[in-house]
Amino acid sequence: MGVATALRLGYSLSLMADAKATAPAAPRWPGESRAACAFTFDMDAETLWMARDIREPVTLSQGRFGPVEALPRILALLEKADVRASFFIPAWVASHYADAVRAIAAAGHEIGCHGDEHERVSELEPKQEEAILKKSIETLTPLAGRRPVGWRAPSWQLSANSLDLVARHGFEYSSNMMDRLVPYLHPEAHGRALVEIPVSWVLDDAPFFMFTGQRSIQAPGPVLQGWITEFDGITEAHGVTNFTFHPQIIGRPSRLACLRELLDHVKHTPRVWVAPLGEIAAHWRTTKQP
């Protein structure tokens, strides 16, 4: 917009100057990278339905498909693409599929906390929420070979106490909020400020592919194109694209083909840093970005 046009439309030059002066600085990514990208997986297995008090065997079998059938293929895809991902795993799933968790860790991927039975954190009393957080740490640490540093709430639902509890128990980052295209620091609590690495439903597979009986399952092609377009836009904005997948959903053959193409597109996009969320959080903290 030219100056004359702006004045004709009633814009103030001083306001325009202020807006330009306060535009956020481009994030600083490693090396010559202009943006970041993470591939993350919430391995919920049966807990996605257990949390809704569903115990019907056929419905629950959809969840078992994730760790039993889909995970080995996903790990093979990630290895071929030379991508290290972040896996968020409920404690119940880790205890019932311990070998799957060990396989994820052995492949060099990050493992983060994701509740116990995919409970609604927003409905828990503080003592319940803290007990689940402790159980998650105690269950995942020996299987992962290291203490988790990242936390993602089931269904991205937080209570008023969640971030304080996560900071108190020594986590480095949260991946739950939807308000930015770049990471940022939460207010300091217990001597440390959590790094937030934002997410979005548009970058999640569940809204498009999960059968609920209330909406139709979408074809992979248009969904893939939407993800690519969103990734390209976030990259142009110098942000972080935080893909969120579920093995039991993305692991169907037609959708694995979609994931393969997405990995290829991201890997062939110039100057994009692809890393697990733990490394992205560590970079954000060490470079002292707000």
Q: Evaluate whether 145 touches 105 at the Cβ level (below 8 Å).
A: yes
Measured CA to CA, the distance from residue 114 to residue 79 in angstroms comes to 24
Give residue limits of the domains in the chain: 36-286
> CATH number for the 36-286 domain, one of 3.20.20.370, 3.30.9.10, 3.40.220.10, 1.20.140.10?
3.20.20.370
- pLDDT reported for residue 10: 46
How far CA 258 is from CA of 67, 255, 279, in Å, comes to 19, 5, 26
160 burial via Cβ count (<10 Å: 0-12, 13-18, 19+): exposed
pLDDT mean over 121-145: 96
pLDDT tens for residues 161-197? 999 999 999 999 999 999 999 999 999 999 989 999 9
Measured CA to CA, the distance from residue 165 to residue 130 in angstroms comes to 7
pLDDT mean over 154-164: 95
Lowest mean pLDDT among 21-30, 75-84, 117-126, 181-190: 21-30
pLDDT tens for residues 197-255? 999 999 999 999 998 777 789 999 999 999 999 999 999 999 999 999 999 999 999 99
- Rounded to the nearest 10 degrees, how much is the dihedral formed by the CA atoms of 4, 5, 7, 13? -80
What is the average pLDDT value for the chain, to the nearest integer? 91
Q: Please, what's the b/e burial string for 174-205 (b: 16 or more CB within 10 A of its CB; e: otherwise)?
A: bbbbeeebbbbbbeeeeeeebbbbbbbeebbb
For residue 132 the two structure tokens come to 């689940």
pLDDT tens for residues 69-87? 999 999 999 999 999 999 9
Query: For the chain, what percent of residues have pLDDT higher than 90?
Result: 82
DSSP 192: B
For residue 22, name the pLDDT band (cuts at 50, 70, 90).
low
pLDDT mean over 50-60: 86
13 or 90, greater pLDDT: 90
Query: For the chain, what percent of residues have pLDDT higher than 70?
Result: 92
Characterize the bridge pairing of strands 173-174 and 110-113.
unpaired
